[in-house]
Amino acid sequence: MGEPSELYLTAREEKALNGENGEAVAASYRVLLSIGEYLGADRLIPVISAHISGVNYANIGDEGLDFLHRFSDDGRVSVRTTLNPCGIELENPKSLNPPASFIAKQLKIVEYYKKLGVAPTMTCVPYEFDNAPRRGSHVAWAESSACLYANSMMGLKTNKESAISALASAITGKTPNAGMHLDRNRRPGIVVDVEAPLESPTDFGLLGIFAGKLTSKPIGITGVGRITKSEGKALGAGIGTSGSSPMFIILDHAPRGVETVPFTKAELQNVKDENSAKSMPQVVLLGCPFYTLEEVGELSRKMETKKFRVPALLHISRSVYERAEKKGYISKLNEAGARVLKDVCPSLTPEGTWGGWKSVATDSPKGSFYMKSALKYDVNVMGLDDLLV
């Protein structure tokens, strides 16, 4: 955070702030002005895309629904804007047995976002086909795991936006020139030296849970070498769950003068134990964050010779579903007993309440955190291979 200061607005921005372009635009500028002054920004800068959270009715409730109703009266996004998952499958809203009232309100939320011009992508991995700006671009993304991935793996520049600030940036096409938009703030404040063997994306997620608690600044990671897309996704999701750091940086060695903290085999086990229950799972929940096309393909190949110990639900975006279906992955997974869902967040949607179960297993440390805190499940964290027999 910078020192609070007065933020310069252009004449056009001043007019928009004063209502020349409607109340939604004026309200958006008020949000950005307040945030910018708090962060010490000198001005607003253009963004070329936004990604919005605050979609699931289970999360935003009637207050969020009413706000979107009013805001969509005259608001329209001005840049490419994608949308986080919701609480139902839009094309099959009864698939998880939600109450009729939940379905009606969830559909209204999506309708209001569409009225605003937001693409109904229903994904927490917008970089997977739906929203992938060129490296170095300034963007305004909510959804903590997507922000971490954008800054760390894609070379984009975004702060960890809230649903409201991301929407304000989507409307105005602007964001405060502060935080991760400035190169001087994109340096590691601490380094985690990985001594533990990391054998799966799940282990990278556990590393993220550990590292995210250490600092609000970018986190350097040594000892892992070149990481895969899946590992980076899991690492960022873990960091974004346990703390406020906006970025990780894979390093060969720690910069001089920067504190280094070891991540040992014992630490790995401790984090896993802290995020796992010992109860027998009734169902496996996969896809927090949503699986990428590559991950869906890998799972379908594994299930040619293996199966899940208990019923399994896989959560993916509609863009990934469409491509996975063409490649034959969806039919293979269905044949092997895995149910594939589009649009639905497994960590905020009360699927267990509707389905009659409360003990789950997941390969996602992030998922475990929210399934326990928001949905009150008993959760076991396990690597994908450990979930199969």
Residue 265 CB contacts under 8 Å (≥ 6 apart), including other chains: 195, 196, 197
Claim to verify: residue 264 and residue 304 sit in the same structural domain: no
Task: Summarize pLDDT for 222-243 with one digit per residue, the tens.
Answer: 999 999 999 999 999 999 999 9
Domain housing 69: 11-183
Comparison of pLDDT for 280 and 284, the residue scoring more: 284
Decide: 180 and 159 in contact? Cβ < 8 Å.
yes
pTM above 0.85, yes or no: yes
* Domain-embedded: residue 1: no
Strands 44-46 and 174-176, sheet pairing:
antiparallel
Claim to verify: residue 232 and residue 280 sit in the same structural domain: no
* Domain-embedded: residue 40: yes
CA 331 – CA 3 distance, rounded (Å): 55
Domain count, the chain: 3
Which domain CATH number covers 302? Answer: 3.30.499.10
Task: Summarize pLDDT for 64-81 with one digit per residue, the tens.
Answer: 999 999 999 999 999 999
CA 120 – CA 136 distance, rounded (Å): 25
Terminal alpha carbon distance of the chain:
49
Claim to verify: residue 240 and residue 280 sit in the same structural domain: no
Per the structure block, which two tokens stand in for 262? 């070891």
Decide: 368 and 362 in contact? Cβ < 8 Å.
yes
Claim to verify: residue 133 and residue 73 sit in the same structural domain: yes
Per the structure block, which two tokens stand in for 358? 């409360």
pLDDT at position 3 over 70: no
Task: Summarize pLDDT for 299-325 with one digit per residue, the tens.
Answer: 999 999 999 989 999 999 999 999 999
pLDDT at position 277 over 90: no
Residue 6 banded pLDDT, cuts 50, 70, 90: confident
Of 29-38, 227-236, 271-280, 348-357, the range with the lowest mean pLDDT is: 271-280
* Domain-embedded: residue 376: yes
Torsion of CA 296, 301, 305, 310, to 10 degrees: 0
CA 140 – CA 291 distance, rounded (Å): 22
Query: What does the DSSP assignment read for 240-285?
Result: HHHS----EEE-SSPPTT--EEEE-HHHHHHHHHHT---SPPSEEE
